Structure 1
């Protein structure tokens, strides 16, 4: 497989009174058509990394080193740091799209769903007629399992699951090659959450896009991801295929993360069915873990 996205030694700081090193020398590749899970606790730098990829970072955030390269299926590479203005606006949604956390905050509450979906086509496909935009919008809703009659609805008239499906439909409007999903199932009940995950995997198989799926919910990632990167304090501390990471986690933090989820049939930590959990008290830390601990102590 060939990579569709390459992150090379990317570092991001928040330049406040005390500089926060939010992302530190992260290197990742996203293979064409794969689902890459990005897991970690709140504040570890997951969303900051996603915003850097899509060039949505705002001051005081600043990329201090590294780059992100997009490799199109058409055979050319794009260094995202070199995009600006109209080129950057044309690139977003068309090549890389993002589903943000909290659909109700992303959708405009005073506009109908049809207006918000059609706005993507007005901006990026101006050659389409109004009738063509309406037809495509209806097809998008049906693709994600929502009746096209909902085009006339306002966001508050939809359930949380429907609103999230609308956001996924909007992100897929231009058939991007990379879809970044920042905790898209947060605050949804487990039944709706599973429906959304099934839709994502079905659409990925149907359309062939790659996914970066960001969440703190490691069991969820184990179910849908091809590979998983575990992030802590701005560092990628472990990266492996989902099965290996589940059965043979190498890093102490990964083992702690796995052990923190309750079992439906046993004691806490019963979620982990194999692997050595003997160092969960933190007495055996590798070099990366010691670096993380040192940075956290320094920031205090």
Structure 2
């Protein structure tokens, strides 16, 4: 069993991982889905048992008791509550200080799925299909827009956002290789090609000021992330941080934040969220049920000393 293991970049040490009671992963994107599946395969290969797999948002995880003796955590950002002996965190998000007791496998330049896949390959669990799938997820999650596979990778990443973590897991029966060239990718491609230009033109004229440096982008059609990144490159858009409101599968609302120069994460942290410097997210309170509610709430939180008067705003979710 592992006790007081320091931060170890992958490849620096081949100390065996402890047997997990549970695997915790991020529910909201393909990176978290692949990371969770790959870790469960690794645990089954190493220990002959399939541990329980749980998928969480950043904010919901903060309410979860951390009572297991041993856990593997992927793509959920390192936090001090995880600093327990026999806990292993595989992650790529920024952190303030390394753990004293848990083991942190970290690389900011690799997605969580890629870090987990490196562990799998070291155990002989790699395949050409997984090579390809993890590459596409890595390109999408790190938003490597200069990669020739970027548009295709965005289509793969959008599968989880459109159809949901557990729906997609059920559809492919956890055999994630079935996602390669899946017929649903044609739906993603057509949506991207038809919807994005229409959505970008509309959203360009519908940005709500939250603070002088943060804008809330209304979206009606298209991939919000691709639309927002196009707006960040638009010299006529003055906000260095842009956010969109998204509705999760359980009906709750969240905001997705994007930037070009590292400011998104700081704003997400003020909303009790997390993520990367330029790509972050945060859940909104249950009382927030519309874009109008979200705009009011965000102004109150991000302008705490400013009296907020909400202008009439149509509810996109009505």
> Could you tell me the TM-score, scaled by structure 1's length?
0.30
TM-score if structure 2 supplies the norm length?
Answer: 0.29
**Greater relative contact order (CA < 8 Å, ≥ 6 in sequence):** 1
Structure holding more strand per residue: 1
